[in-house]
Amino acid sequence: MNSLEIKNLKIHVEGKAIVKDLSLSVPKGEVHALMGPNGSGKSTLAKALAGHEDYEIVAGEATMDGQSILEMETDEIARAGLFLAFQYPSEIPGVSIANFIRAALTARLDENEELEAARYYRRLYEKMDLLKIDRKFTARSINEGFSGGEKKRCEILQMAMLQPLYAIMDETDSGLDIDALKVVSQGVNSMRGPDLGILLITHYQRLLDYIVPDKVHVMWDGRIVRSGGKELALELEEKGYDWVKEEVVSV
């Protein structure tokens, strides 16, 4: 099946259970939103799936298009087609945006393939223009001295260039003003299509006003406790998360 499949996943951090028997399916061609309060395990799930060594997967399965990713190294998971956009992107001094993306693309090529420079820069500039990133940024170090909005645009630029099979976006709206949010959302929406599945992790409805999800999941205490359509996010916006807690406790 063409989907990111997570089944009965359990994740520990320093011996403590954070994600508890979680199951989730994100088909290609769909955008799913994962919502929940702080501490519910959303970012833990994202980082563990990307292969972060501090997050121990103790049980369950995670596959992309039927291929298990749990035994892969981080770089192997990325080359297989999973992209993770961080809530707080790191600075990489001395590594320019252009060289960073070019190296990432080259790492995916077969031994006898080459990345033609002119074609690469044409495509890079096209995506930068879409995201309203000044072309001078190609020579700047990754995220060094960037504003919050510039960091997030840079990540969406990487995503647009790498064309992953699945993208997990961890609170992409964090730190964005309304203008930056609109531009970033436009960039994400331009990539929507049958060849990409997206999992949006967010606290708030405002991102979902611009990137309208096909399905919304609510995470509480390490589990998916409710799923529904885009209307579920509006209900959370109106009522907050306390009603979810009450509903879970009463079960």
- The tens digit of pLDDT for each residue in 12-39 reads 999 899 999 999 999 999 999 999 888 8
pLDDT above 90 (res 214): yes
Query: For 94-120, what is the mean pLDDT?
Result: 90
DSSP letters, the chain, are --EEEEEEEEEEETTEEEEEEEEEEEETT-EEEEE--TTSSHHHHHHHHTT-TTSEEEEEEEEETTEE-TTS-HHHHHHHTEEEE-SSPPPEEEEEHHHHHHHHHHTTS-TT----HHHHHHHHHHHHHHTT--GGGGGSEETTT--HHHHHHHHHHHHHHH--SEEEEESTTTT--HHHHHHHHHHHHHH-STT-EEEEEES-SGGGGTS--SEEEEEETTEEEEEE-THHHHHHHHH-SHHHHHHHHH-
Q: Which CATH superfamily is domain 3-92+165-250 in?
A: P-loop containing nucleotide triphosphate hydrolases (3.40.50.300)
- The tens digit of pLDDT for each residue in 138-150 reads 999 999 999 888 9
Name which of 65-74, 184-193, 239-248 the model is least confident about: 239-248
